[in-house]
A and B are shown apart, each in its own frame.
Chain A
Amino acid sequence: MTIAPVVVSVRVAAPPDRAFALFTRDMGRWWPHGRTIGAKPHADIVVEPHNGGRWFERDEEGTETSWGKVLAWEPPGRLLLGWQLDSGFHYDPSFLTEVELTFASDGKGGSNVTLEHRNLERFGADAEKVAGQVGGGWPRIIGHFVEFAGVPSAV
């Protein structure tokens, strides 16, 4: 079974090369606070600028928590990230879903940035595994979910 990918597009007031740089280099500055998985708030979020680079958050004490890796580093038009957080929001190097970003000029000095998070069906088999573990993924997902479902969508 294939689950429809999550696709989100936004218009950004910067040309593609600049938007790509802001997205990657400054992720720790724009990422919504509280939506990270480390034990402490993030001080930075790092996307290492090369194929195979790491994607992780770092707290103020320097503790790093992995999220995934860079599958394709292709500035200014495309970035392919591997999201390796399972349905319990734990880093699992054997688990991977793809997050693809494309940065396209809007012809007016800005960009259309589109994100596609796909391979979501992989969460299914994984969730069954996680649900079998003590303190597994379900309570946590539902907790996040209900919390966010209570907040009006940003769109």
Chain B
Amino acid sequence: MANSSTRRVGADGFEALGDPTRRAIFEKLAASPSAVGELAQGLPVSRPAVSQHLRVLEEAGLVAKTAEGTRRIYRIDPRGIGAMRAWLDDHWRVAMTAFAAFAETEAEREDEEGL
């Protein structure tokens, strides 16, 4: 599952969060920056799998890592671009779909009224 998702992700943070494990990781990091081992402890997946998920989140601009001694600490990307872009992408899809539905309703109403 991780592999098929990875190919589809690209720069799209919304798709990156479509995977429940990645969402859980993202939410944990939103609560507090953590190393891979700490993340893996609270999740029903292996440490390599967590690393793989982190890589996808990183590529989507959602998380960033910093080195602290020998440990790599992951945190939500402070630039926020990935999350913001994903939010906007979702938002505009919902809004434009609502607009198209509204226009459809208006067109039907006009037909009925013989306008």
- A residues apposed to B, CB below 8 Å: 3-4, 6, 8-14, 18-19, 22-23, 26, 29-32, 35, 87, 113, 115, 117, 120-121, 123-125, 127-128, 131, 137-138, 141-142, 144-146, 148-149, 153-155
Q: List 23 A-B contacts (CB under 8 A).
A: A3-B81, A4-B11, A6-B85, A8-B96, A10-B99, A10-B100, A11-B100, A13-B103, A22-B106, A23-B99, A30-B98, A30-B101, A30-B103, A113-B99, A124-B79, A124-B81, A125-B79, A137-B80, A141-B87, A145-B86, A148-B87, A149-B14, A153-B93
Known contacts A22-B103, A142-B30, A146-B27; decide if A120 and B91 are in contact (CB<8 Å): no
Tell me which residues across on chain B come within 8 A of A117, comparing CB atoms: 88, 92
Apart from the given pairs A128-B78, A148-B94, 15 other A-B contacts in the complex at a CB distance below 8 Å: A3-B81, A8-B89, A12-B103, A32-B95, A32-B98, A35-B95, A87-B80, A124-B79, A127-B81, A142-B83, A148-B87, A148-B91, A149-B86, A153-B14, A153-B90
B90 is contacted by which of A29, A121, A141, A149 (Cβ under 8 Å)? A149
A-B contact count (CB 8 A): 126
Known contacts A35-B91, A87-B80, A153-B14; decide if A120 and B85 are in contact (CB<8 Å): yes
- B residues apposed to A, CB below 8 Å: 11, 14, 17-18, 23, 26-27, 30, 61, 76, 78-81, 83-104, 106-107
Tell me which residues across on chain B come within 8 A of A30, comparing CB atoms: 98-99, 101-103
A138 is contacted by which of B26, B76, B89, B99 (Cβ under 8 Å)? B76
